[in-house]
Structure 1
Amino acid sequence: MPRRPIVYLDDRCRAFLVRMPPGGVYSHTTAARLYSMPLPLSMTSHTELHVSSPASRRAVDARGIIGHSTLLRAQDWDRRFGYPVTTPERTWCDLAVMVTLAELVAVGDKLIARRLPQTTPVDLARAVDEYPSRRGIRNLRRALPLLNERAESPRESLLRVAIVLAGLPEPTVNRRVFDSNGKFLARVDLSYPHLKLSMEYQGDHHRADRAQWRKDIARTRALQAAGWTELQYTQDDLARPESFLAELRSMITQLSN
């Protein structure tokens, strides 16, 4: 009877430990998935494990392994989850050549999020300054000033970065909105408060969940009654941003006059 494949990432990592070379650590997307970093869907279905070995050793060459030979300092890895893995900071740096700038920012936002942060902006900046590879360094340096600890979802981060890279003003993130009497109305994903303009990313759960759908309608109505304009976006807008960015630019101009 053929052996059943090992499906779960944790099990695959444990299974390879007996063949892990001295000084080897799990890295790149393998480490990112262990830390639950928000990777593009195309990267979460891969079964290969990324293993980084010290620069003095050859990269691992084995079935199901993507090997890397790189400078690994003591502060670049730790023993977590029961095996050696690159730190969140080093993992973020290693991802810079594998994802887009916006996706890199989304990962960084998750790492420094006010709820359950895994690192700090200062530590990420230090990791970039000390990163031993020049590959991806431009992406990393561009990503640092775009990080925002108030972000609460990867799609929200992708939307914000698309807006900023288009040359539009950087929106406020997750602002609480109140009416003229001080009554709380909503917390909006992205906004230009001085224009009373908000931008919301609507995932599929907003459509599929009846209670959420009704809540969204009531929320939008309350904002409109308070003089706010709400723009809603979906994955299609992120995939083809030119149209929504042109519309947003026009809306900003209209409300500014």
Structure 2
Amino acid sequence: MDLHLTRPGVVAPVRIDPTGRAGPRRGEARGRRWRTTSPRRVVPAEVDAGNAHQRIAERVAAMPAGCAATGWAALHWQGERWFNGIDAGGEPLAVPIATGDQVGLRQRDGLELLHGWLFDDDVIAVDGLPITRPERSVFNAVTRAPWFELGLQVAAMACAADLVSLRELARYTARLGSRQHIRRMRMTVELADENLWSPMEATMLLRWIERGHPRPLANRPVFDRDGRHLLTPDLLDPAAGVVGQYDGTVHDLREVRRRDLAKEETCRELGLQVVTMISTDLRDEQAFGRRLDAAYRRAGEVRGRRRAWTIEQPPRWVDTSTVALRRGLDDEQRRRWLGWRVG
């Protein structure tokens, strides 16, 4: 299809044109100045093929009208920064394309064709590129994820980017009736949270619930009795006084590690029991569960003491824990209260 993109830095592929007016002639297209993106379509050779947005646009341009980017590609095009189309080994993921009812389309390298009918409002245009609406993009990503945990991460990060709310996902899921994999989607909506700030927080939440402990709150700020903000743990069971933190590679950086240690010290002073998930827990799933059980046992031993902390927010505090609340902020409030999400 012919794309008329308006996104800065992304170049729409052009057709080879025998007249040379709308694109290069065939002989010119074989030269060093052009790079072939799909049969009979090219872009200037200097255009970065490794840029995720460019790669998405090139794959969509190779498809007939009526098709649209979906899954991680559509979410990334709309600003979801966590899933940028690179797998754990550093290799680019295939771009998923929703084809609707069109048949006879061939799989190509770098493409993942998703066949199946689309609702009339499922395809939207963003900066000139046809993509599926966030609800459908999340559904396709969740139901095609190789394991449940990855799909939960996708849903949580789409909510974190305010592209979709859990309520919107639930309504869309209800429209799908008994479509294949619908049970997985319903479970994802039930377990996800709108205030998780990283994919691994979604993993920790899932492991926490699977261990049989009460569902914790995600990124709920903790205050002293005078309303001063003390810390915002990744996960918190306020009834038990148990805090969950994820410690990934980035936490090895000196300044980040310093803040983490200060947070742990604050928790000890407040009587909060901290359990930390680390990257090796992804291989040994029982390790985090055992530490979590131990944290709950320690919390039980100190239960009954007067608490010097509360999760009740002071009047001046602006709650940003849900998609609806974040969408309701004006530009100045977003800069002040959500500035950490920039970049």
Identify the TM-score tier after normalising by the shorter chain: 0.7 to 0.9
CA deviation after TM superposition for structure 1 residue 224, in Å: 0.9
Pair 1:22-2:65 in alignment: yes
Pair 1:161-2:210 in alignment: no
Measured in 2, the distance between the counterparts of 1:48 and 1:21 equals 18
CA deviation after TM superposition for structure 1 residue 180, in Å: 5.0
Question: Which residue of 129, 136, 150 maps to 1:83?
Answer: 129
Query: How many residues are treated as equivalent by the alignment?
Result: 254
In structure 2, list runs of 5 or more residues that go unmatched: 1-30, 36-44, 302-343
1:4-27 CA distance string (max 9 Å, x none): 682223223333454321211112
Partner of 2:327: none
Question: Which residue of 248, 259, 264 maps to 1:203?
Answer: 248
Change over 3 Å in CA distance of 1:16–1:252 after alignment to 2: closer
Question: Which residue of 92, 98, 102 maps to 2:138?
Answer: 92
Pair 1:107-2:150 in alignment: no
CA deviation after TM superposition for structure 1 residue 182, in Å: 4.6
Measured in 2, the distance between the counterparts of 1:233 and 1:118 equals 28
Measured in 2, the distance between the counterparts of 1:18 and 1:176 equals 45
Give the alignment's TM-score, normalised by structure 1: 0.86
Partner of 1:225: 269
1:68-118 CA distance string (max 9 Å, x none): 3210122211111421111111011111222422222222222223xx511
Give the alignment's TM-score, normalised by structure 2: 0.66
Kindly report which structure 2 residues correspond to 1:17-166, keeping only aligned pairs within 5 A, or say none. 17-35=60-78, 36=80, 38-39=82-83, 41-42=87-88, 45-46=91-92, 48-95=94-141, 96-113=143-160, 116-131=161-176, 134-166=179-211
**What amino acid does structure 1 have at the position aligned with 2:155?**
G
Q: Is the 8 A contact 1:37 1:107 kept in 2?
A: no
Question: Over aligned residues, Cα RMSD in angstroms?
Answer: 2.6
What secondary structure does 1:125 align onto?
Answer: helix
Give the percent of matched residue pairs that are identical in Structure 1 and Structure 2: 22
Measured in 1, the distance between the counterparts of 2:98 and 2:106 equals 8
Change over 3 Å in CA distance of 1:43–1:170 after alignment to 2: farther
Q: Which structure dedicates a bigger proportion of its chain to helix?
A: 1
**What amino acid does structure 2 have at the position aligned with 1:79?**
A
Measured in 2, the distance between the counterparts of 1:76 and 1:67 equals 16
In structure 1, list runs of 5 or more residues that go unmatched: none
